[in-house]
Amino acid sequence: MRNRQTDSAYNMPIPKPELMQRIERDEDDKLDILIIGAGLGGLGAAISLLLSGHSITILESTPTISEVGAGIQCLPNSTRVLVSWGLEPLLSRHATRPRRCSMLGWKGGVVSSMDFWEYERETGAPFWDFHRGDLHGALLERAKELGARVETGCRVVDVDFSNDGSSATAILADGRRRTADLIVGADGIHSRCREILLGRGDPPVLTGDLAYRLLLRTEDMRGDESLRGLLGGTGQGEMAVRYWMGEVNYLLRNGELFNMVLLVPDDMPAGASTLAGNVEEMRALFKDWDPRIPKLLALCKSVYKWRLCIRPGLDPTWSH
Ligand SMILES: Cc1cc2nc3c(=O)[nH]c(=O)nc-3n(C[C@H](O)[C@H](O)[C@H](O)COP(=O)(O)OP(=O)(O)OC[C@H]3O[C@@H](n4cnc5c(N)ncnc54)[C@H](O)[C@@H]3O)c2cc1C
């Protein structure tokens, strides 16, 4: 058995990820691939398959691709991949790189903390926090730069497989049909593709929690000394991520936005995924917490409730 403390192989820093070089293929060696869904997964699959030399069209159901969402955290296991896809110059412009990560009790006492930068040195890849819109925009830009065709307003409702298994056809809500050598389903948590593959309805599993998600302007926090402390000084070196048990916060967009996620039991009506939340109701749920939380929530003018769902792995699993 290997010992992490004494085994030098475990303690060696992992080198920075290498840039993936694009594979050049002859036309008859190239697959014509349709990806369903231009979310983070679909765009990531597109970049990877384009670098592998294939030809990609992405079908996205929304009429336009716009900047939606709030904060999203990328840990070194995923930033390694983003860097290897050539995204570092584009993404490092949008990322915040928090240093200190603290776990706090609901009254604010520190339970534990770690230095993300030290961990970065160990893993060879950064901790990056983004506004989801910026991460999504960068993936879209890179996919298009590599040659992806992105078609919006294309809701896929069914997939037909050819009898010999050599092709598949995506059927769109307006009746159009698109045939390809391979179809990749990347249509998110309420995936229609997953149901088509399984041949039965397969809704996501509710976790029983919902997240209040909000963005505050950090300039509104600077007037209060205890809230100013959450912003750190100037420069990325002072930025931090804090996990109160039930609340997470971190800074975005060069420290201009303060992202908060607050978890509470799910009380949303059946069928809803995202709803406008009631700010007063949210404040009441957190009124007895660490006094900084009610102060932060007093600055909030509107909030969204996101129902949290998970997807257990497919059984049997699919691999190649
Ligand atoms: C609008 C939005 C905002 C989000 N904001 C955040 C955030 O702020 N922070 C965070 O941590 N996570 C956020 N998420 C979740 C996060 O992006 C996903 O959980 C995660 O990235 C999984 O990626 P995915 O590609 O599987 O799914 P998604 O990123 O959800 O992408 C799925 C895509 O498929 C499209 N689609 C769905 N059905 C069809 C169909 N039948 N035909 C064609 N296209 C279809 C959708 O419009 C969407 O663009 C958000 C997701 C969405 C859709």
User: In a 3-state reduction of DSSP, which class is residue 282?
Assistant: helix
Judgement on whether residues 214 and 302 belong to the same structural domain of the protein: yes
- Which of these three, 198, 233, 257, is where a domain ends? 198
Q: Could you tell me the CATH number of the domain that includes residue 302? A: 3.30.9.30
Structural domain total, the chain: 2
Judgement on whether residues 187 and 134 belong to the same structural domain of the protein: yes
How many A from CA of 39 to the centre of ligand 1?
5
- Which of these three, 154, 176, 198, is where a domain ends? 198
Is there a domain that residue 151 lies in?
Answer: yes
Judgement on whether residues 272 and 288 belong to the same structural domain of the protein: yes
Is there a domain that residue 101 lies in?
Answer: no
| 99 within 8 A of 240, measured Cβ to Cβ | yes
Judgement on whether residues 187 and 212 belong to the same structural domain of the protein: no
Nearest residue CA, atom 11 of ligand 1? 72
Is there a domain that residue 31 lies in?
Answer: yes
User: In a 3-state reduction of DSSP, which class is residue 201?
Assistant: coil
Judgement on whether residues 44 and 168 belong to the same structural domain of the protein: yes
pLDDT in tens, 16-57: 889 999 999 999 999 999 999 999 999 999 999 999 999 999
* 260: nearest Cα among 214, 296, 309, 194: 214
* 89: nearest Cα among 19, 13, 40: 19
Q: Could you tell me the CATH number of the domain that includes residue 53? A: 3.50.50.60
The ipTM is: 0.91
Is there a domain that residue 100 lies in?
Answer: no
Query: Is residue 65 lining ligand 1, measured as CB closer than 6 Å?
Result: no
Judgement on whether residues 153 and 265 belong to the same structural domain of the protein: no
Query: Is residue 290 lining ligand 1, measured as CB closer than 6 Å?
Result: no
Judgement on whether residues 171 and 281 belong to the same structural domain of the protein: no
Judgement on whether residues 43 and 163 belong to the same structural domain of the protein: yes
34, 35, 36, 40: residue to mutate for ligand 1 pocket, most atoms within 8 A of CB: 40
pLDDT in tens, 58-94: 999 999 988 777 899 999 999 999 999 999 999 989 9
**Domain range enclosing 193:** 24-75+129-198
Judgement on whether residues 231 and 282 belong to the same structural domain of the protein: yes
Neighbours of 303 (CB within 10 A): 19
Cα–Cα distance, 57 to 35 (Å, whole number): 6
- Reading the chain (320 residues) residue by residue, the pLDDT tens digits are 445 455 555 556 677 889 999 999 999 999 999 999 999 999 999 999 999 999 999 999 999 988 777 899 999 999 999 999 999 999 989 998 888 888 888 888 888 988 988 888 888 999 999 999 999 999 999 999 999 999 999 999 999 999 998 999 999 999 999 999 999 999 999 999 999 988 999 999 999 999 999 889 999 998 888 898 888 754 555 677 888 777 788 888 888 889 899 999 999 998 899 999 999 999 999 999 999 999 999 999 999 999 999 998 887 776 65
Judgement on whether residues 246 and 290 belong to the same structural domain of the protein: yes
Judgement on whether residues 60 and 32 belong to the same structural domain of the protein: yes
Judgement on whether residues 287 and 141 belong to the same structural domain of the protein: no
Is there a domain that residue 285 lies in?
Answer: yes
Nearest residue CA, atom 3 of ligand 1? 69
Q: Give me the torsion for CA of 61, 62, 68, 73, rounded to 10°.
A: 10
